[in-house]
Amino acid sequence: MARPALLCDIGKVLADFDFNRAASAAAPRCRAATEGSSAELNALLEDIKLPYENGDMDDETFLTGAKTRLGFEGSRTELTALWCDIFTPNAAMEQSLRALKQRHPALPMHLLSNTAGLHLAHLQEHCPALSLFDGGVFSHLAKASKPGQRIFEIAIEQCQLEPAHTLFIDDLPANIATAKAMGFAVHHYDLHNHQAFEHRLEQWLRDEDLT
Ligand SMILES: [Mg+2]
């Protein structure tokens, strides 16, 4: 018997984010950064951001590395606060998923996110939609990241997913492409068109005889 489930990204789906916010807030206190753009911040942190998200670097090592590269003249606590203050919860998505959970309390809902310790801890505290999920797979713990297949394979095994009966929701075309190639049902989420998700969800629920 089919076991339908949901597999959902976090960034730009459950919460919008804007690295410019961190970059411009940090800029006046950074010896290295002057203009405060996210492109500049990303360039300065380029060599440590990916290893951090892939779980090859812990929070402390990342913070030490970031503090040095930015020439940040503040404490690690202050840098952590700036690094994490980039998210805005997506209220429309939270509402839809809360309603779905009420309609189908037994439907398994899992997260699949490229993230790292500091952001995940922050999101768990400040983004209420995360509490609707039965856990998930996170790149820094899985030591694999989207759009690679490995993290999807880990999710299939760990969350006991049947791709054909799992609706994968993500905002990035490359992640959607991998999921599609692996046989998942997919929805390419657009923060500016939440209605499209509502329609896709209803269609998928009908496909899975869950209405
Ligand atoms: Mg995303």
Considering the domain 5-17+87-207 in this protein, what is its CATH number? Answer: 3.40.50.1000
Contact assessment for residue 184 and residue 204, using Cβ atoms and an 8 Å cutoff: no
Between the CA of 1 and the centroid of ligand 1 the distance, in Å, is: 31
Between the CA of 65 and the centroid of ligand 1 the distance, in Å, is: 25
Residues, CB-to-ion distance under 5 Å, ligand 1: 9, 11-12, 171
Between the CA of 95 and the centroid of ligand 1 the distance, in Å, is: 18
Helix (H) or strand (E) holding 7: strand 5-8
In the chain, where the domains are located: 5-17+87-207, 19-84
Q: How far apart are the C-alpha atoms of 158 and 110, rounded to whole Å?
A: 10
| Residue 40 confidence (pLDDT) | 83
Percentage of the chain exceeding pLDDT 70: 99
Count each helix (H run) and each strand (E run) in the chain, helices first: 10, 7
| Residue 23 confidence (pLDDT) | 87
Q: What is the pLDDT of residues 160-184, one digit of tens each?
A: 999 999 999 999 999 999 999 999 9
Between the CA of 84 and the centroid of ligand 1 the distance, in Å, is: 16
Q: What is the pLDDT of residues 55-103, one digit of tens each?
A: 999 999 999 999 999 999 999 999 999 999 999 999 999 999 999 999 9
Between the CA of 170 and the centroid of ligand 1 the distance, in Å, is: 6
Q: What is the pLDDT of residues 6-63, one digit of tens each?
A: 999 999 999 999 988 888 888 888 888 667 788 888 888 989 999 999 999 999 999 9
Region 149-165: mean pLDDT is: 98
Q: What is the pLDDT of residues 20-29, one digit of tens each?
A: 888 888 888 8
Instruction: Give the global pTM.
Output: 0.94
Between the CA of 145 and the centroid of ligand 1 the distance, in Å, is: 12
Helix (H) or strand (E) holding 168: strand 166-170
